[in-house]
Structure 1
């Protein structure tokens, strides 16, 4: 069994964030951190992606935090470009994912995105 918190940690691997911050991101996206992650639920997966997206956006909006995630062989610009690519990829995934309740995706809106 894997919890929602563990699933979010998988999605944000390599980014060191306090567990209480991860918990807040999950709660803000309608997931209880210590409940079982339901891999077959599109809504659960979508909400984990939304939580990961909010974490990445928080890092991207704070240059000091971004600087802390770079290592000797990379620079802030390279890290920022990769981070922004990951953010855009997550945004697209979230927009086109189906919802468990309505069984509809947001693909209509995806047609008009960059």
Structure 2
């Protein structure tokens, strides 16, 4: 599986051109056609950062801030739910470690003689 394919799993239902997705990946230090390494904490974190960038771009679309009524179904609060998802992703990314942080222990020296 490539980084691009992994990103598509994360942003299902969002239709963007493959070139646009590639730019988002490159902005987050991933090459679209490189092999995705699921054991790499940094790669996973960068995929989530890329998904966050995409959601933030969608949230900037003024057309999506409206309420829509289709037949007898009303689509409301789309923008609010989108912002909630963005907040969830930001919290998740902040709590994730990178490969470098995984190799270091959580040792803290309180006293040093």
Q: Deviation above 2 Å: which 4+ runs of structure 1?
A: 70-75
Q: Which runs of 5+ in 2 are unaligned?
A: 104-113
| TM-score (ref. length: structure 2) | 0.80
**How many pairs were matched up?**
100
How much does 1:86 deviate?
1.0
CA RMSD of aligned residues (A): 2.0
Q: 1:1-114, aligned counterparts within 5 Å?
A: 2-64=1-63, 66=64, 72=70, 73-75=73-75, 77-103=76-102
How much does 1:101 deviate?
1.3
Structure 1 residues 18 and 95: CA distance shift in structure 2, 3 A: same
| TM-score (ref. length: structure 1) | 0.79
Structure 1 residues 34 and 103: CA distance shift in structure 2, 3 A: same
How much does 1:82 deviate?
1.6
